[in-house]
Structure 1
Amino acid sequence: MRPFGVCAVCLAVLPLSRPYLSAPTPQLSMQLPGLIIGGGIAGLTTALALQRRGLAVTVCESAPEIKPLGAGIWMAPNAMQVFHRLGIADKINAGGVPLRNIQVVDARMQPIMRTDQERVRQRFGYTTTAIRRARLQETLLAELAPGTVLLAKTLASFTQHEQGVTVHFTDGSVLQAGYLVAADGIHSAVRGVLFPGARFASTGHIVWRGISPVRLRPEFQQSIMEAWAHGVRFGFSEIADGVVDWFVGEYAPGVTSYPQGLKNHLLDLFRDFAYPITTILEAADEARIIRNEITDFDPIPSWSQGKVCLIGDAAHASTPYMGQGGCQAVEDAFALAQCLEQEATVEQAFAAMQRLRRAKALHIVRTSRLMGKVGYLQHAPAALRNFIIRTTPSFIIEQQFRRVYQLNF
């Protein structure tokens, strides 16, 4: 799960297109196939978008096998519109839980903010879908041509030349490609070569993620709920019938161990919160709880250099407080494939993609940093925050949603 997605609300919709298929441009079809580094959501979506356009591509993943790892993720309407264009939105909805409302609540589970996802669906065609990250990955893999993904391929180095890019791997193999797409995450090895001066911004916040076998009361089903109180955050949603994906956010710089056990620590943080938070935590398997330190990096000057391009977290990683990390990667993937089809050269395509995507991606980075501060407020500042959000007219909240959910390509 990409946590804290509801926080975006504290701050001209395009119609859905049909799944888009067309012949590749002569310029790109005559080049060597593309090569993608990274077999996560960004890399697999990019490969699918390229193949839908008849463009050859290979994905290289460093893991020796693709395992069902991770917790859940929220695919917001902007990502779902992309999946619609790729012809797989219905499969993703079938594999997850389309949500009917999103709420920020207090410790008593009383609403601070609530959105009507039916109105969102009417405007954008989709609501947010909560799904296991592994299930989403499986859905994308099943749509790719056989042999698209190569496993146990760890990047060692790459060189650019007139014909494209030569890529060396740690197993001694070498691949030639017309262009290279880096979808290798926030600690991108490719970005480290192209833009070694990227500055990370540590927050001191820790996010714990897990999945619990819990059947929620009806009023909590098909919903994202995020509780803000006492300087901590707890969010949860169903990702399947009787399965709840959850996260905890706390400020804990330098803390790496808990003498009474992690699960007891988390239960202690939320002992004063109403149902179902402690019920969800009690059902969790402590050994499967995932720890992430929250960070991002300052915007880099460009997402590409020559025939090499960065996408997703490799290009513009954000903190998770808007729940848009995976969604922005999905937008990048479709926009990149579209530009590679339409532009005369790889370099022109990469520049066009950045023009389409940079302003929105950086808006997410900056706004998410702000929401990382707002959600952890305590005492009088928290009371003032809650009052302001509760009294904000709904049309203003909806305007903020539209800016995030609208596509410009």
Structure 2
Amino acid sequence: MYEKKIAIVGAGVAGLAMSILAAKRGYYVEIFEKRGQISDLGAGVTLWPNAMFVLSKMGLTQQILQRGNPPRFVQQLNQHGHALAQLDIAQLNQSCGHKSVTILRKDLMQILYQCTQSLDIRCNFNTQIGDADISLLTNKFDLIIGADGRMKSSMRAVIFGDKSRPSFQGFVNVIGISPRPQCLHANTIKEYRTAGLRFGIVPVNDDLCYWAAAWGCTIDTTRSTEAYVEDAQRHFEQWPAAITTVLRTYNMGSVKRIFVHDLDPLPHWHRDNLVLIGDAAHASLPTSGQGACQALEDAWHLTQQLESHTDIQHALSAFYDIRIEKTTTIQQIGRQLAEQFFSNQPQEPVRMDAKQVSALWMQGLENT
């Protein structure tokens, strides 16, 4: 006999992770996903030590390591390829007690989804959840979790109406997957930038890398993804060979154009037996480097609070209280970095102290 029944709206990183952790604790879980299959939106993701902490609790460390790549360095460089700063990831990992891993998003999603199937978690695809559906779910389930993303979260709309729409932050990300250029070492993440332009390349194994080209713009949905790739090729045509190579050899099916939005911090994440997690609750900019990591943390902490409190309202209030300071800090860091990267001012290196970074990323996880 199940103690609680949980419905999860959305089968992204947050939703799948939450379903796994809850099912492992004995809860009955169903997932409701509007797409016909698991999404691979996004080219790749860096799972920093706080994410790997959660994945280790899910028993997925070895699967992640088999499909991903443990990087050794993050290098910041200018448009000429001259180094501005470097972070020793091995030192960061040691401070945190867990590894960092880069992985294609589709591989991460497949690992999570396969785990849900091994736990016999029902995933209802092609199921759009609207206001009326949420009302029906509240009668059938003890808890409904909104993990349905930053842009069009039906769960967030039910709780907040039009008062919580995501905010466009003035730049576009063009992302994709390419063969790894020979000039790019497999153990080094490279971030190139000059005033108003940024290009990141992340190796995921000896053969592949994922990348993101970013610059300030207005929203124009009438232009094709191919047109934005051509913009990227023009913007970065005089930049180092690793960049021009990936922009020439990319897999077109992997390329996406994203007008980057985030959320202002919300005053609460729950109402009655509805609660938001992941990007639906606190979407941050990609400049924070923590989107998927914070989604995984949400799943871990919400499961912990459900275990610690017999009353769901107390559990949801405690979950918000535990998470809001850290997620707000991550959001603010993402905005501050974006403002710096996409200004017209000369670029200064972002100073990254391994101990300070580890203190932030492992905040709230040390004693759980």
Q: TM-score, normalised by structure 1?
A: 0.82
Q: Which amino acid aligns with 1:52?
A: K
Residues 352/254 of structure 1: CA separation in 2 closer, same or farther (3 Å cut): closer
Measure the CA separation in 2 of the matches of 1:269 and 1:315. 34
Shift of 1:344: 1.1
1:167 to 137, 145, 150: 137
Equivalents in 2 of 1:214, 1:366: separation in Å?
A: 32
* Helix, strand or coil at the partner of 2:130: strand
- In structure 2, the partner of 1:398 is 355
Cα distance between partner residues in 1 of 2:226 and 2:41:
26
Distance 1:185 1:310 in 2: 10
Distance 2:227 2:267 in 1: 43
- 8 Å CA contact retained: 1:195, 1:300: no
Indicate if the aligned counterparts of 1:319 and 1:369 stay in contact, CA closer than 8 A. yes
User: Bigger shift: 196-205 or 242-251?
Assistant: 196-205
- Residue of structure 2 in register with 1:138 after alignment: 110
Matched, 1:236 2:193: no
Q: Aligned in 2, Cα 1:240/1:154: closer, same or farther, shift over 3 Å?
A: same
Aligned pair partner of 2:338 in 368, 372, 378: 372
Cα distance in structure 2, aligned partners of 1:77 and 1:319: 19
Q: Residue 145 of structure 2 corresponds to which residue in structure 1?
A: 181
- Cα distance in 2, alignment partners of residues 347 and 30 from structure 1: 16
Q: Give the partner amino acid of 2:270.
A: S
Corresponding residue number in structure 2 for 1:124: 96
Larger radius of gyration: 1
Q: Does 1:332 align with 2:298?
A: yes
Give the equivalent residue in structure 1 for 2:172.
206
SS of the residue 1:220 aligns to? coil
CA distance in 2, matches of 1:80, 1:345: 29
1:230 CA drift (Å): 3.9
Q: In the aligned structure 1, how far is the partner of 2:121 from the partner of 2:295?
A: 23
C-alpha contact (below 8 Å) 1:263/1:286 kept by paired residues: no
Mapped partners of 2:68, 2:210: distance in 1:
11
Matches within 5 A, 1:80-99: 80-99=52-71
The one-letter amino acid of 2:149's match is: G
Q: Residue 18 of structure 1 corresponds to which residue in structure 2?
A: none
Report the alpha carbon displacement of residue 254 of structure 1 after superposing the two structures with TM. 3.7
- Does the residue aligned with 2:164 lie in a helix, a strand or coil? coil
**C-alpha separation between the residues in 2 aligned to 1:159 and 1:245?**
37
The alignment yields a C-alpha RMSD, in angstroms, of: 2.3
The answer as to whether partners of 2:191 and 2:200 remain within 8 angstroms in 1 is: yes
Is the contact made by 2:6 and 2:29 (CA closer than 8 Å) also made in structure 1? yes
Counterpart-to-counterpart distance in 2, 1:185 and 1:69:
11
Report how far residue 294 of structure 1 moved: 0.9
CA displacement 1:84-103 (0-9 Å, x = unmatched): 12211221121111111112
Separation in 1, partners of 2:284, 2:227: 30
3-state DSSP of counterpart to 1:382: coil
How far apart in 2 are the matches of 1:337 and 1:370? 31
SS at match of 2:85: strand
Post-superposition offset of 1:68: 4.9
The unaligned stretches of length 5 or more in structure 2 are none
Specify the alignment match of 1:293 in structure 2.
Answer: 259
Contact conserved, 1:258 with 1:265, CA < 8 A, in 2?
no
- Give the direction of change, closer, same or farther, for the CA distance of 1:34–1:153 in structure 2 (3 Å limit): same
- Distance 1:58-1:300 versus aligned 2 partners, 3 A rule: same
CA contact (8 A) 2:78 2:192 kept: yes
Q: CA deviation at 1:125?
A: 2.8
CA drift at 1:259: 12
Q: Distance in 1 between matches of 2:300 and 2:343?
A: 37
Match of residue 250, structure 2, among 243, 264, 284: 284
> Structure 1's 202 and 360: CA in aligned 2 closer, same or farther, altered over 3 A?
same
| Structure 1 portions without partners, runs of 5+ | 1-25, 169-174
Superposed, which structure 2 residues align to 1:55-66 within 5 Å? 55-66=27-38
The answer to whether the 8 A contact 1:297-1:318 is kept is yes
Once the two structures are superposed, residues 267-295 of structure 1 have per-residue CA deviations (whole angstroms, 9 ceiling, x without a partner) of 21112211211011110134542011111
Match of 2:158 in 1: 193
What letter matches 2:47 in structure 1? M
Distance 2:133 2:224 in 1: 46
Using the size of structure 2 for normalisation, the TM-score is: 0.91
